[in-house]
Chain A
Amino acid sequence: MSGRLLHNLLLFGRVLRGLGLDVNPGRMMDLVSALDYIEIGNKADFFYAARTLLVHEREDLELFDEAFELFWRKPAESWGVEWQGLSRRRKSNKPIVMPPPLKDEPPPAENNTDSNSKEPMTVIEVTRTYSDREVLRHKDFAQMSAEESDAVNEMMAHLQWKISERRTRRRRPGKGEMLDLRRTLRRSLRAGGEIFHWSYREPKLKPRPLVIIADISGSMERYTRVLLHFIYGMKAALTQPVEAFVFSTRLTRITRPLQIRDLDLALKNVGELVDDWAGGTRIGESLKYFNFEWGRRMLGRGAVVLIISDGWDRGDVELLDREMARLKRNCHRIIWLNPLLGAADYEPLTRGIQAALPHIDNFLPVHNLASLEDLADRLAELDRR
């Protein structure tokens, strides 16, 4: 192989990595050895060989195709502009909008980066007395000042999350009903082949996957920030897969940005990814999109679904009814968290909630810290079916 081709090949690998594809040196070596078997002159063969070796995610195929086109078929001079467009598209070409600020939040200081901003929070945590905390536990998230909500976020980080486990089909030695012939025979050999004890196997337990679908539309605006903290906290605390989505007019998956250790950075990335903060509400449409695109991949294995919304739906109510029914058929539990349920005089009369209610297993408030603690208890008590 010519040195020039090798050089270009490695450069192409670097470009793909830059676009976020999982291309490692091992794969590049494989591609180089694959070139021994194919006709390099044949563009189609080369294209498909590179594609089968360098991409292993369906979502990346389209990006690869465009990058290949740009890299190998256009003269180098004309790349620049188009190239920028491609890499921008990978992240998001939408204007960056941050989650809505709290009403009385002071304007952020210029160099108020992560390490600095944590300091005052800790101070609050330490100096607050027991009774202050009690008041805070029952105060509605929507009525909190920025300082209070910081304190609550801090307290929320200490909540214990545990979701009851589910019986899997995998078995392990124990007290179940299945005979464990392997162990029975092994034990009998010690007694010269006479069976004195029968050994059994029991199902292994595993934590249930969790899917959180949160409403970030205009009517939920006052709760959005604190709920994102809550979702982040849950994802960090639980060992099982936790998938998170937000919606107002359309559904966005935010699982990946939430994986980052640094909470502030994670929330900032979520802010950049989502482009319909505080928009209208289309719960039915969003759930439908979830059912079609993600449901099959995420709802197996007895998943628990948390929907967080006030149920002010401006979309098609029949659609919401149908999609809730579909969601219900495919998961273990649907828990609907509604911040309005905290108000004494609230009655679930909106059309959206009316359509959804028959399909919900638990309808719970989510307006203050005490309600979250209650949720934590419920999750730990789900049955093992």
Chain B
Amino acid sequence: MRRVQEFCNFYKEAALEFTSIDSLQSALRERNYIAEHGLATSLYLTLKLNRPLFLEGEAGVGKTEVAKVIASLLGTDLIRLQCYEGLDVHHAVYEWNYTRQMMHIRFLEASGEKANEAELFGPEFLLRRPLLQAIEQSKVKPPVLLIDELDRSDEEFEAFLLEILSDFQITIPEIGTITTPNPPVVVITSNRTREVHDALKRRCLYYWIDYPSFEKEIEIVQARLPHAPEKLARQVTSFIQKLREMDLYKLPGVAETLDWTTALVALDQKALDPVIVDETLGAVLKYQDDVEKIKGEQTRVILDRIKAETA
């Protein structure tokens, strides 16, 4: 019990440490996460008001990363639930370990005993899935619960999630109700492949993560890949920024900027040239139509524009 108390205090202190949005923003920066002031505000209020944070944005703008950095900042665990169509209670909350139960029945049989139902459906046969884990751990020390790509799940799961988020309480008929006085920090992300229902969004703080400006993106690249040559980093970022102005089916995210820079560093490139761009374009553009559109002439045009701007 004393340990529990200690843990609680630890967590509270960690959360209270941030007395202003600016201090949170710089703490994030220390952990190499460059957040806009708006995102820092949303995060700050998420921690203070104990509300889930709903993050939307194009793929690769760092939504999932937010949950990770918050967990590291609070010194707590990150529990992740990846959503997919058909995700149900048995994969999101709990499931009984049937194979073990069956083995147990056979084992008892062999020694001439009969299986006792209460024993079979006890905690040791329970498989804890992310939502149950998050609630159980919250009793000790609230973790960060990341519900990733909610748009991939279906309406049935959304309705269920709404229920969980309103009272952080799970009832397992065989065991009872599990609840927690201090809920986990919840971060929900969506790529908008489907509209998530208003009722769920209404419960959350909302933030749309946009593509970063050139200055922000350079900062991100330098924070995450400090060994990349500065000239290369600037050229890559500038190239990506120009691609985002173009009529492409899938625009590159920050993740692509980082991937591409990493690839080019691995290839020992100090700067961009038309040949290397065309050869590595697959790290940036994920649709064949888009690659064909840019490859060759467009690559040269963009590189010339970058040269003209830096000259």
| In contact, B206 and A182 (Cβ under 8 angstroms) | no
Query: Which of the residues A49, A169, A297 comes within 8 Å of B41, measured between beta carbons?
Result: A49
Query: Which of the residues B44, B95, B105 comes within 8 Å of A37, measured between beta carbons?
Result: B44
| In contact, B205 and A193 (Cβ under 8 angstroms) | no
Find residues 40-54 in chain A having any chain B CB closer than 8 Å to their own CB: 44-45, 48-49, 51-53
| In contact, B88 and A170 (Cβ under 8 angstroms) | yes
| In contact, B84 and A48 (Cβ under 8 angstroms) | no
| In contact, A169 and B114 (Cβ under 8 angstroms) | no
Query: Which of the residues A171, A184, A300 comes within 8 Å of B86, measured between beta carbons?
Result: A171
| In contact, B114 and A192 (Cβ under 8 angstroms) | yes
Residue of A nearest to B45 (CB): A34
A89 at the binding interface (Cβ < 8 Å): no
Q: Assuming the A-B contacts A34-B45, A48-B41, A52-B45, are A169 and B193 also in contact, with contact meaning beta carbons closer than 8 angstroms in the complex?
A: no
| In contact, A168 and B38 (Cβ under 8 angstroms) | no
For B196-217 the 0/1 string (1 means CB < 8 A from A) is 0010011011111000000000
A147 at the binding interface (Cβ < 8 Å): no
Query: Which of the residues A38, A56, A61 comes within 8 Å of B21, measured between beta carbons?
Result: A38
B42 at the binding interface (Cβ < 8 Å): yes
| In contact, A56 and B201 (Cβ under 8 angstroms) | yes
Query: Which of the residues A22, A188, A297, A300 comes within 8 Å of B202, measured between beta carbons?
Result: A22
Query: Which of the residues A45, A52, A192, A291 comes within 8 Å of B207, measured between beta carbons?
Result: A52
Tell me how far the C-beta of B248 lies from the nearest C-beta in chain A, rounded to whole angstroms.
Answer: 9
B245 at the binding interface (Cβ < 8 Å): no
For A8-27 the 0/1 string (1 means CB < 8 A from B) is 00000000000000101011
Assembly CA distance A56 to B204 (angstroms): 8
Tell me how far the C-beta of B130 lies from the nearest C-beta in chain A, rounded to whole angstroms.
Answer: 18
Assembly CA distance A33 to B44 (angstroms): 13
Q: Which of B47-55, B61-69, B164-172, B236-244 contacts A (4 or more CB under 8 A)?
A: B47-55
Residue of A nearest to B56 (CB): A58
B85 at the binding interface (Cβ < 8 Å): yes
Q: Assuming the A-B contacts A55-B206, A171-B86, are A48 and B201 also in contact, with contact meaning beta carbons closer than 8 angstroms in the complex?
A: no
Assembly CA distance A292 to B249 (angstroms): 6
Query: Which of the residues B86, B102, B120 comes within 8 Å of A170, measured between beta carbons?
Result: B86
Tell me how far the C-beta of B51 lies from the nearest C-beta in chain A, rounded to whole angstroms.
Answer: 7
A39 at the binding interface (Cβ < 8 Å): yes
Find residues 290-307 in chain A having any chain B CB closer than 8 Å to their own CB: 291-292, 296-297, 300-301
Tell me how far the C-beta of A53 lies from the nearest C-beta in chain B, rounded to whole angstroms.
Answer: 6
B230 at the binding interface (Cβ < 8 Å): no
A-B contact list, 6 entries, CB within 8 Å: A27-B202, A38-B21, A39-B20, A53-B206, A58-B208, A297-B194
Chain A contacts to B: CB under 8 angstroms: 22, 24, 26-27, 30, 33-34, 37-39, 44-45, 48-49, 51-53, 55-58, 61, 168-171, 181-182, 184-185, 188-189, 192-193, 195, 291-292, 296-297, 300-301, 322, 326
Chain B contacts to A: CB under 8 angstroms: 20-21, 37-38, 41-42, 44-45, 48-49, 51, 54, 56, 84-86, 88, 90, 95-96, 98-99, 101-102, 105-106, 108-109, 114-115, 117, 120, 154, 156, 192-195, 198, 201-202, 204-208, 249, 289
Sorted from nearest, which 5 A-B pairs have the closest CB atoms? Answer: A169-B86, A48-B41, A181-B98, A193-B105, A56-B201
Q: A37-B45, A45-B21, A53-B45 are in contact. List 9 more A-B contacts (CB 8 A).
A: A33-B49, A37-B49, A38-B41, A52-B38, A181-B99, A182-B95, A184-B98, A297-B194, A326-B249
